[in-house]
Amino acid sequence: MGTGLEMAEVHAASPWMPDLVSLFTCYRRHYGQPEDAGDVRDWLASQLASGGLRGFLARRDGAPRGMALVAPTPASLLLGHFWQLRDLYVADRHRREGVGRALLAHVRDAAAADGALRVSLTTEADNTGALTLYRQFGFEPVDGYTSMSLKTETSG
């Protein structure tokens, strides 16, 4: 049974860019970030145009339902590349409708078509909803690795 979702990759000049900006603004608000749509639009357009990120959007009945941003990343030891799922967001009122699963399937298929070796992601350890979705989809924890971060002087 189909989801009735329309999926598309969104480029900087895409007619779907305003929908991506709107969802990404909601995603950032969820994490306590400011809602400056102009800054969000400019940043997303720059990232999409440079290839630093690739954006994907799910719509149904002409309305945006969810978005995903991935970062193509070199896999130096394997002389290839993988996709890092950076952000996955489904609008609150459209959760539990299969939008997240459909976005993951679309990203997986686009990554395979691009020759990516894998799709990786990082999420908060207490984000049980996301962890459940990712595990049900087939993502597995990576044993033997620890995620670490170093703030720079400019990060405040």
Tens of pLDDT, residue by residue over 12-30, are 999 999 999 999 999 999 8
Segment 37-50 shows an average pLDDT of 93
Residue 75 lies in a domain: yes
Q: 146 pLDDT exceeds 90?
A: no
Residue 13 lies in a domain: yes
Whole-model pTM: value is 0.90
**Which CATH number does the domain housing residue 43 bear?**
3.40.630.30
- Rounded to whole angstroms, the Cα distance separating 98 from 105 reads 11
pLDDT digits (tens, 9 = 90+) for 88-118: 999 888 888 889 999 999 999 999 999 999 9
Question: Residue 1 — very low, low, confident or very high, per pLDDT cuts 50/70/90?
Answer: very low
Contact 15, 21 (CB under 8 A): no
Residue 152 lies in a domain: no
